[in-house]
Amino acid sequence: MAENSVLVVGGGGREHALCMKLAQSSKVSNIHCCPGNAGTEIIATNHSVQASDVDGIVNLSVNLGIDLVVVGPEAPLCEGLSEKLSETGIPCFGPHSELANLEGSKLFAKEIMSRVGVPTAGYHVLSKDSDVDSALDEFSENPWVVKRDVLAGGKGVVVTTNRQEAKDFILQSIESDGKVLLEAFLPGEEASMLVVMDGSDFVCLPASQDHKRAYDGDEGPNTGGMGAYCPAPVVTADVKQKAISRIVKPMHNYLSNLEIPYRGVLYVGLMITENGDPNVVEFNVRFGDPECQITLPLIKTDLFDILYSASVDELSSLEVEFYQKYALTVVLAAEGYPAKPVKGRRILGLNQQTSDDCWVNHAGTGVDDKGNIISTGGRVLSCSAVGDSVYDAAIKAYRMMDSITLEGSHFRKDIGYRAL
């Protein structure tokens, strides 16, 4: 019986994917989104409260009689949204602010990993009194990896073989943040594992692979993600078992035994060596974007049941099932993205027939005063599909992408190439 009202916080492709999946739930009667986009507006009620307005979200949740708040982006979690909702008795899918620091502070994450024995790269914490040149010398045989110790929207990392570029970024980060992390470079292939967890249990969702670079062949600047596919073949059964035993279980044992356990999804960014050994590159405290868009469609179990159970420490009572399919999404980016995206242009071709196996996830979209859907962000939308293989899903997604027009836009034409 549909009787629950859910509020999804955020306005990107990830939040549209969450709304779409929740709309399929027999347990959900009303979906609200703040602020949402042109896609969420079709299946949910959008509200003009920004994702950064923690008090506004709490007040909105109380006034609407919300039964579950699902938080998309990390920033409101780091600002204490989860604990403020707890004070009102409203369950929240997303950790309290202290544990949100697993994403908010790279150093905090490293310290926890060291404490529980999770494999990750060696590192130095550098500040204004540090000998930067000596630290650079120590890691000089590989590219230098420099990470800001603040929330940077996935853009606070520089990987470079140019010593001066590395040094400049270190000094700039120390100037702005007080400290910075210099890491040893981890060679291998990246993948992402999303793990839903609470105080009672954890569930690993199918592993995925993102494409960060702007252009084909992994060329160009880093972005928030230009596409993804799932499951990722690099995460074999053996690699998955190693990741669970060496990373997921130790982290869950630690996080579930705290006074307030971790309740939400832990994004585990993996680097898998040529020997099949997984190491942690980073943790995020929310669904990845665009990984969310191709992971949720493979979940057979009612998504509301999963998210609600995890928010009240009842995940262990749930048997989560998955479809034996493949999913792939291709991001359409605005002209000038990622540096200076052009906004406000009309998007044509969105009225084509979507189906159960092919659809559009809205991200940076809005509606102008004439009712036209326009671009409002850098990553505008993505075309997503499921199929019996990565190739099958790619054919469907690209066929849909070819029917959409946005002046000056660009997209990668090789999403999923590692699995094809």
279-320 pLDDT per residue, tens: 999 999 999 999 999 999 999 999 999 999 999 999 999 999
Which of these three, 183, 206, 229, is where a domain ends? 183
Mean pLDDT of 235-254: 98
Q: What is the CATH number of the domain that holds 140?
A: 3.30.1490.20
Residues 220 and 335 in one domain: yes
Residues 197 and 140 in one domain: no
Query: What are 105-123's pLDDT values in tens digits?
Result: 999 999 999 999 999 999 9
The pLDDT value given to residue 156: 83
Residue 117 falls within a domain, yes or no?
A: no
- Taking residue 376's Cβ as centre, other Cβ atoms within 10 Å add up to 21
Label residue 351 by pLDDT band (50, 70, 90): confident
Residues 130 and 256 in one domain: no
pLDDT, the chain, mean? 95
Residue 12 falls within a domain, yes or no?
A: yes
Residue 376: name the closest of 388, 386, 366, 389 by CA.
366
Residues 246 and 306 in one domain: yes
Residue 230 falls within a domain, yes or no?
A: yes
Is the confidence at residue 154, as pLDDT, over 80? no
Looking at this protein, which amino acid is placed at residue 218? Answer: D
Residue 114 falls within a domain, yes or no?
A: no
Residue 115 falls within a domain, yes or no?
A: no
Contact 260, 235 (CB under 8 A): no
Residues 415 and 279 in one domain: yes
Specify the number of domains making up the chain.
3
- Determine the Cα–Cα distance for residues 162 and 49; give it in Å rounded to an integer: 43
Contact 34, 46 (CB under 8 A): yes
Residues 196 and 148 in one domain: no
Label residue 150 by pLDDT band (50, 70, 90): confident
Label residue 355 by pLDDT band (50, 70, 90): confident
Residues 175 and 198 in one domain: no
Contact 418, 392 (CB under 8 A): no
Structure tokens at 163: 């010593």
Indicate yes or no: pTM above 0.85: yes
- Determine the Cα–Cα distance for residues 19 and 39; give it in Å rounded to an integer: 9
Q: What is the CATH number of the domain that holds 386?
A: 3.30.470.20
Structure tokens at 105: 């502070």
CB proximity list for 406: less than 8 A, separation 6 or greater? 332, 334, 345, 346, 347, 348, 375, 380
Query: What are 61-83's pLDDT values in tens digits?
Result: 999 999 999 999 999 999 999 99
Mean pLDDT of 399-411: 97
Is the confidence at residue 92, as pLDDT, over 60? yes
Instruction: Give 277-337 as a DSSP string.
Output: -EEEEEEESS--TTHHHHHGGGB-S-HHHHHHHHHTT-GGG----B-S-EEEEEEEE-TTT
Residue 371 falls within a domain, yes or no?
A: yes
Is the confidence at residue 352, as pLDDT, over 90? no
Q: Which residue has the higher pLDDT, 146 or 140?
A: 146
Mean pLDDT of 135-142: 88
Residue 104 falls within a domain, yes or no?
A: no
Residues 36 and 167 in one domain: no
The pLDDT value given to residue 49: 98
- Determine the Cα–Cα distance for residues 194 and 266; give it in Å rounded to an integer: 6
Mean pLDDT of 381-402: 97
The pLDDT value given to residue 153: 63
The pLDDT value given to residue 152: 72
Which of these three, 80, 95, 110, is where a domain ends? 95
Residue 220 falls within a domain, yes or no?
A: yes
Residue 178, domain extent: 122-183
CB proximity list for 61: less than 8 A, separation 6 or greater? 7, 69, 85, 88, 90
Residues 261 and 152 in one domain: no
Residues 134 and 242 in one domain: no
CB proximity list for 133: less than 8 A, separation 6 or greater? 167
